[in-house]
Amino acid sequence: MSLILDNKRLIFVGGKGGVGKTTSSAAIALHLSERSQGQKILLFSTDPAHSISDSFNIRIGDTPTQIINTLDGIEVNVEQLTDQFKGRHREAIQELLTRAANLDKKDTEHALELAIPGIDEFMSLMKISSFIENNIYKTIVVDTAPTGHTLKLLSTPSGVNSWLIFFSGLQIRYKNLMRTFMGADTNSIDDFMNSLSEGIYKVHTLITDPEKTEFIMVTIPDLMAVEETKRLYISLYSAGIRINNMIVNNIQANTDCPFCQSRRNYQNRYINIIDATYPQTNKIYIPLFPNDINGIAQLRTFKDILFS
């Protein structure tokens, strides 16, 4: 079998930690870049422990870095994106909290320093969305953090939307106060709320659009990985995201070596479970490599199996 991607604009690669997500996403991005007919591909890391630099043996920063002519990589600094967002909208948020929530300056400053639930993940998705809108890249391949962070990333529009509802209530109260007692306009607050609402809508529409977005699950045939894969699959399905492709990594060769045979027999139990649990999902089985996979030459070997 081979990965089937059908010209997607956005490809998420996710799964449990240590199953080969970064290698898989790097190989997929490399394959797409070599078949892109001159159009550029972006490999985008949302994992706080960035490792796509290690996969390609080059330094990749928080702005797009060229890997080869048709492939760029970026390891985003989410804290920096969040600080920029807060800085951009600081005055509007302060105005809302001071007047509508009746907080003093000290409390307002403290509130601004608090972590907003889901805002880090939202910033990553907004950055991805901006790249797609700018139409610089034909496809963006996203190397996600381990399962828990991935679920948080993909559920973040609803989380941030709860935060938005709270601020909407303050906005209504603020507008009534300003118009009743001061006759002032509320354009800056309205602009802030509108931009946030539009951002949430765009991100949610993008990640749940099966024509544009693909989610590839990566797993290995052992108990913990298979169980975590099941939880991720159910969560994604509940969010309206269908899994069409699954990479099953680190398959032990079935040789005369007694240890190898024992290991493969153990794995076969979980390979059978994967086959039975996801009969409609296209599965690609990747052999266990004798070495770390890094550098373009080794990634090409990996991607040749993915797309054989």
| 3 state SS of 219 | strand
Cα–Cα distance for residue pair 5/11, rounded to 1 Å:
8
How much is the CA Rg of the chain, to the nearest whole Å? 23
Task: Note if 47 is an active site residue.
Answer: yes
Residue 183, phi-psi category: left (phi > 0), alpha (psi -120 to 50), beta (remainder): left
78-88 vs 119-134: helix axis angle to the nearest 10?
A: 90
Cα–Cα distance for residue pair 192/121, rounded to 1 Å:
19
For 115-138, give the DSSP string: PPTTHHHHHHHHHHHHHHHHT-EE
With CA atoms as reference, report the closest residue to 29 among 67, 78, 64: 67
Cα–Cα distance for residue pair 75/127, rounded to 1 Å:
11
| Residue 275, CA distances (Å) to 169, 188, 268 in order | 49, 55, 10
* The one catalytic residue among 6, 47, 143, 275: 47
Cα–Cα distance for residue pair 14/214, rounded to 1 Å:
11
CA 96, 99, 103, 107 torsion-angle sign: positive
Q: Which helix (H) or strand (E) holds 37?
A: none
Q: How many CA atoms lie within 13 A of 79 on its CB side?
A: 3
Do the beta carbons of residue 137 and residue 131 sit within 8 Å? yes
Active site residues: 47
